[in-house]
Amino acid sequence: TISKVYARVVYDSRGNPTVEVVISTEKGKFSAIVPSGAHHNSHECLDLRDNDPKKWNGRGVSQAVQNVNEIIAPALIKANLDVTDQESIDEFLIDLDGTPTKEKLGANAILAVSLAVAKAGAGKKGSPLYKHIADLAKLHEYPFLIPTPFFNVLNGGIHSGSGLTFQEFMVVPYGAPSFFEAVRYATEIFHTLRTLTIEKYGSSSANLGDEGGIAPNVENARQALDLIVSAIKGAGYEGQVGIAIDASASDFYKEGKYDLNFKNEELSNAIDYLTSDQLAELYWDLINKYPIVSLEDPFSEDDWEAWTKYYPKFQSKVQIVADAITSTTPEIIEQGIEKKIANVLLLKLNQIGTLTEAIDAAKLAYDAGWAVQVSHRSGETEDTTIADLAVGLRTAQIKSGAPARSERFAKYNQIIRIEDDLEKYAVYAGKNFHDSNKS
Ligand code: PGA
Ligand code: ZN
């Protein structure tokens, strides 16, 4: 039973405050910290901020912390629910908030409690967290499926100060024999990429973006992709490592078109905005020219027409990942499935706000034949829950940023531990990252 629920303010990788919750039970103390993205659309659950300009530039979470300590804590202790009964506890939290986007108590407050409860539940059972999550999801367990990692080696979009439009350029070591080896490939590629980029674009081009990848001042996606292809070849992994792009196209959608110069006021000109057909043509060229295996948010969350028009064509060559357009929100995922917009759901815990709802969202996607990719946020912490989530839910894919920087590596390191502990009871998803969850 829960004897204490306590929240405090700690900090994320961008130096912004965030919520940590500690739950005390007879087994000890269990804590969780929530992340925060650079995007917040109207569908996703509310990341409650104080908006007091005098403190933390308005990013304070004092209210969310207070909501845990003064509202959730006494109510949850009084309810006397079992920490292994995640579903009842999450339902209790959802009811206590009572709003569809968790705006009364804050999704950051609620998620921190939900995840700390999950860890307490695993602690009570004496199970690793991934196994507890697999139990909760009622999914097949042994052998566990170790996800193929998507490493964001080159950052653009709103995560970097460069002019590069697309947000993320990831390497996917699907040809490695294990997760451990996949990480080795990625670190070698990342160091090669850094050296090549400095040679070509000067030392300041190795500056870093929000997710720990380099943020060179390249002009366009082709230049970024050429560098990455050279790095993959240079490190000796051609044919074993694919490339994934998250365009995050909602960020450059203007007046029904796409402004590739959205970060450069001098170059930005309405005459040059691309129609969705022109943007699709650009993607199609890139997909055919480079070893791209995955494309996320190719179009805006408000441009459903383009998503439905181009999914059938694109999916013959790459998987299409829905992030901003679905926002881990069941009603929208259902529409996306019906309208055939994509075949992968990007799963972000803090877009939905409880572990149970995240599990349900993943199962909704699986039932429709979609794959699921677990994702970090651009503002991250040392919390590693998403590593266990990806293994427990058998998602077969995860993205947690660059193969560098500890808030990114904390998750990869946790998967290294899980794979190592499981020994022969672990199977690396590898090239089957898109389908192996179905087995
Ligand atoms: P965010 O970006 O965490 O800054 O919202 C991540 C993504 O777009 O996948
Ligand atoms: Zn995204």
Q: Which of the following is catalytic: 102, 119, 124, 348?
A: 348
Residue 90, pLDDT above cutoff 80: yes
233 catalytic residue (yes or no):
no
419 catalytic residue (yes or no):
no
pLDDT digits (tens, 9 = 90+) for 60-86: 999 999 999 999 999 999 999 999 999
Residue 359, pLDDT above cutoff 80: yes
For a mutational test of ligand 1's pocket, the pick from 13, 18, 248, 301, i.e. the residue with the most ligand atoms closer than 8 A to its C-beta, is 248
Spatial separation of the C-alpha atoms in residues 351 and 342, rounded to whole Å: 18
Atom of ligand 1 nearest to the CA of 346: 9
Number of CB atoms found within 10 A of residue 183's CB:
21
Spatial separation of the C-alpha atoms in residues 2 and 344, rounded to whole Å: 37
pLDDT digits (tens, 9 = 90+) for 390-433: 999 999 999 999 999 999 999 999 999 999 999 999 999 999 99
Buried b (16+ CB within 10 A) or exposed e, 320-343: bbbbbbbbbbeebbeebbeeebbb
Q: Going by DSSP bridges, is the β-strand pair 292-296/319-322 parallel, antiparallel, or unpaired?
A: parallel
Cα angle at 172 between 197 and 149, to 5 degrees?
Answer: 115
* Packing angle, helices 179-201 and 221-235, rounded to 10: 120
Q: Which of the following is catalytic: 44, 211, 380, 407?
A: 211
Residues making up the chain, counted from first to last: 439
Alpha carbon of 376 to ligand 1 centroid (Å): 8
For a mutational test of ligand 1's pocket, the pick from 150, 375, 381, i.e. the residue with the most ligand atoms closer than 8 A to its C-beta, is 375
Atom of ligand 1 nearest to the CA of 159: 4
pLDDT digits (tens, 9 = 90+) for 272-321: 999 999 999 999 999 999 999 999 999 999 999 999 999 999 999 999 99
Spatial separation of the C-alpha atoms in residues 358 and 361, rounded to whole Å: 5
pLDDT digits (tens, 9 = 90+) for 193-205: 999 999 999 999 9
Q: What is the largest CA-CA distance in the chain?
A: 65
DSSP strands (E only) in 299-348: 319-322, 344-347
Give me the interface pTM, i.e. the ipTM: 0.98
Band of residue 438 on the pLDDT scale cut at 50, 70, 90: low
Band of residue 41 on the pLDDT scale cut at 50, 70, 90: confident
Q: Which ligand is nearest to the CA of 246?
A: 2
Residue 386, pLDDT above cutoff 60: yes
Q: Quickly list H helices, 257-321.
A: 276-289, 304-314
Q: Report the pLDDT value the prediction gives residue 40, as an integer from 0 to 100.
A: 87
For a mutational test of ligand 1's pocket, the pick from 211, 378, 386, 411, i.e. the residue with the most ligand atoms closer than 8 A to its C-beta, is 378
Residues having CB within 6 Å of any atom of ligand 1 = 37-39, 167, 246, 248, 323, 375, 377-378
Q: For residue 242, which phi and psi values (nearest 5 degrees)?
A: -100, 175
Band of residue 140 on the pLDDT scale cut at 50, 70, 90: confident
